[in-house]
Amino acid sequence: MRSRLANALVARPLRQTQGWICQRCVVQAKIRRQSSTPKESAPKKKPYYITSPIFYVNAAPHIGHLYTLVLTDILKRWHVLLGRKSILVTGTDEHGMKVQQAAAKAGQEVRAFCDEAYKPFQALANEAHIDYDHFIRTSEPDHRFAVQHFWLMLRERGWIYAKKHEGWYSISDETFYPQSAVQLALDPATGRKFMASKETGKEVEWTSENNYHFRLSALQARLLEYYSNTSHKIVPLTRMKDVQKEIENGLQDLSISRPSERLSWGIPVPDDETQTIYVWLDALINYLTKANYPFQIPGQEHAAGWPADCHVIGKDIVRFHCIYWPAFLMALDLPLPKQILTHAHWTLGNEKMSKSTGMVVNPFFAINRFGVDCMRYYLALDGGIKDDSSYDNSFIIARYKSGLQSGLGNLVSRVTRGKGWDVRRAVKNSDKYIDQLDKKLGSSLNKVRYQVLSHMRNLDSREGLHAVMKVVFQTNAYMQASAPWNLREPEQQEQLDCVIYSCAESLRICGILLQPYMPAKMKQLLDMLGVAEDARMWADAMPGEDRNYGEAKCEMGKETEVLFPPLSSHF
């Protein structure tokens, strides 16, 4: 006799009823569909759609999570700065063996555990000023509906089959590894020997079980063709080449379910309660869930954002996002993500931060200690894309003092608090001396917005930040050399105004371009300059574009209006 699992894959038409999904999910999905129906049928322009990975709730967030969120948010805010509607999706991954075990260890029912464990991640996004549009939890009904629908479509098209699977499984990585990808490892603390993944070092165990498989091997040629069309689908290029090499070496079909007797916490396979959908298939579909899958309306398929313009992920989950995910989408002929930004890790004492080892930095403590925009600035400035970066409090202090306090903050104080000049007068009368502006600084101000634009197109926000800060330092040097505090004679008035206008324009332009990096501080800076709310876009970041600023929108002269005050002495 065939097993129940094998019987479940006998070809049959989809059910006419919705009995394969809970009625609550059906109702929730209907509400989503009705609420998302546009009032008019005219096609809408596709928003810029960007995602962070969804984070496992088996442990508290660390600084690596904050870095990913900040990178994602900078890119989202940049496109808003360009005038494009943008959607950012983040959230939590609440299914899988790791979560099930974490709940058991905490002595809690899994649902109750997840209902508390997701909160620190959402709190971190809020505290870090992440401008997200959707915070998804994979335990929500609309996501369950999307995943089960996706599964049924894969099955209907013949992409799923039943098979006994044997191999090395890592609970920590939530994935199977072939024999060639594991090795014998030694725990130096206990002397215990164990099998571990060569890639991650995580322990694996031999598993033999019946489950469902996805025909990943059948998509090898299509994946290679997909990545051969352009060199910018995966950033940086070195990781794209690694992905191409892995595909060229051959792909094995992927196990996409687990026996529910072993993994009960997850989304059940439709029509087969003995199996739970593989957590990574479940998790990846979150990007579609918040793009209103499967209820795209004819003529409005892109209104909710799909396909994703950019997935931002850590380098440790490249295989899942760059091989499995496009393969799943190809199987259903769904549009593929345009780009995937894969960043490197932060190290602590030259070791990768890890929740399992306790080698982590608490992001809440860091934000509370140094301030949210200081942390955003530091992570964006020092964070690695291709190579890992070393995290150290002394580095944060050094970057704050040199770049923010002595650099940008000092320039703002000099321009807005200087005695003997009037910023508004200098801006208002700029026509009189526009030809006298410093050519070197003027050239930099003309170029900088295009330089940042070029870097952002390459998903390189770090170099974009360096380009703006270079202008800040250049302006400080120009002001020091010009010494406006010495231009006190009446006949020097025009020269004085010319210097102040040049510095004020630099601050205005740099302040606009730095908004994605430090939104709160740059709002304060632009308020101090008196820049109107509707004059803070990328198009405004050109010399002479705004002649209406110069009168502060906030009370000046107070210590609280110092843009970057000295850090507390105990730092």
Count, in order, helices (H) and strands (E) of the chain. Answer: 22, 19
pLDDT of the residue at 39: 42
> For 471-485, how does the pLDDT look when each residue is reduced to its tens digit (9 = 90+)?
999 999 999 999 999
Q: Are 54 and 136 in contact (CB under 8 A)?
A: yes
- CA triplet 372, 57, 369: central angle to 5 degrees? 20
> For 528-539, how does the pLDDT look when each residue is reduced to its tens digit (9 = 90+)?
999 999 999 999
Q: Could you give the C-alpha distances from 549 to 94, 170, 410, 554, in angstroms and in order?
A: 49, 59, 20, 13
Q: Are 257 and 212 in contact (CB under 8 A)?
A: yes
pLDDT of the residue at 570: 44
Beta bridge partner(s), residue 164: 210
- Mean pLDDT (whole number) for 425-446: 89
- Name residue, tokens 């080449």: 241
Return the half-sphere exposure (C-beta side, CA atoms, 13 A cut-off) of residue 355: 16
Higher pLDDT pick, 436 / 502? 502
pLDDT of the residue at 355: 62
**Cα-based torsion angle of the residue sequence 25, 27, 28, 30 in order, rounded to the nearest 10 degrees:** 120
- Chain mean pLDDT for the chain: 87
Q: Who's near 178: CB < 8 A, 6+ residues apart?
A: 167, 168, 252
| Separation CA 247–CA 242 (nearest Å) | 9
> For 338-374, how does the pLDDT look when each residue is reduced to its tens digit (9 = 90+)?
999 999 999 987 777 766 666 789 999 999 999 999 9
Q: Are 61 and 318 in contact (CB under 8 A)?
A: no
CB atoms within 10 A of CB 382: 18
In the predicted structure, residue 19 carries a pLDDT above the cut 50: no
- CATH code reported for the domain at 24-30+46-366: 3.40.50.620
pLDDT of the residue at 393: 94
In the predicted structure, residue 171 carries a pLDDT above the cut 70: no
Percent of the chain scoring above 90 in pLDDT: 71
pLDDT of the residue at 31: 42
Q: Are 494 and 432 in contact (CB under 8 A)?
A: yes
CB atoms within 10 A of CB 413: 16
Residue type, 60: A
Provide the pairing of β-strand 351-352 with 346-348: antiparallel
pLDDT of the residue at 359: 77
* DSSP element (H, E) containing 273: strand 272-277
**Cα-based torsion angle of the residue sequence 233, 239, 242, 248 in order, rounded to the nearest 10 degrees:** -10
Q: Which two tokens stand for residue 519?
A: 């939104």
Q: Which two tokens stand for residue 66?
A: 């904050």
Q: Are 9 and 160 in contact (CB under 8 A)?
A: yes
Residue type, 36: S
Name the DSSP class of 546. -
Asked which of 5-19, 128-142, 297-311, 437-451 is least confident by mean pLDDT, the reply is: 5-19
- Tell me which residue of 434, 155, 417 sits closest to 269, measured CA to CA: 155
CA–chain centroid gap for 376, Å, is 13
pLDDT of the residue at 230: 76
Beta bridge partner(s), residue 170: 175
- Give the pTM: 0.87
> For 386-435, how does the pLDDT look when each residue is reduced to its tens digit (9 = 90+)?
999 999 999 999 999 999 999 999 999 999 988 889 999 999 998 888 77
- Mean pLDDT (whole number) for 117-144: 97
For residue 211, give the 3-state DSSP assignment: strand
* The domain over range 392-561 is classified in CATH as 1.10.730.10: yes
Q: Output phi, psi for 276, to 5 deg.
A: -115, 135
Q: Where are the domains of the chain?
A: 24-30+46-366, 392-561
Q: Who's near 85: CB < 8 A, 6+ residues apart?
A: 45, 47, 48
| Separation CA 474–CA 441 (nearest Å) | 7
Q: Do domains 24-30+46-366 and 392-561 have the same CATH topology?
A: no
Residue type, 15: R
pLDDT of the residue at 167: 67
Q: Who's near 527: CB < 8 A, 6+ residues apart?
A: 552, 553, 554
| Separation CA 103–CA 371 (nearest Å) | 33
Name the DSSP class of 530. T
In the predicted structure, residue 564 carries a pLDDT above the cut 60: yes
Q: Could you give the C-alpha distances from 380 to 314, 517, 518, in angstroms and in order?
A: 15, 8, 10
CB atoms within 10 A of CB 298: 7
Q: Are 308 and 49 in contact (CB under 8 A)?
A: yes
In the predicted structure, residue 91 carries a pLDDT above the cut 70: yes
Q: Give the model's confidence band at 166: pLDDT under 50 very low, under 70 low, under 90 confident, else very high.
A: low
* DSSP element (H, E) containing 183: strand 182-186
Q: Who's near 387: CB < 8 A, 6+ residues apart?
A: 344
In the predicted structure, residue 82 carries a pLDDT above the cut 80: yes
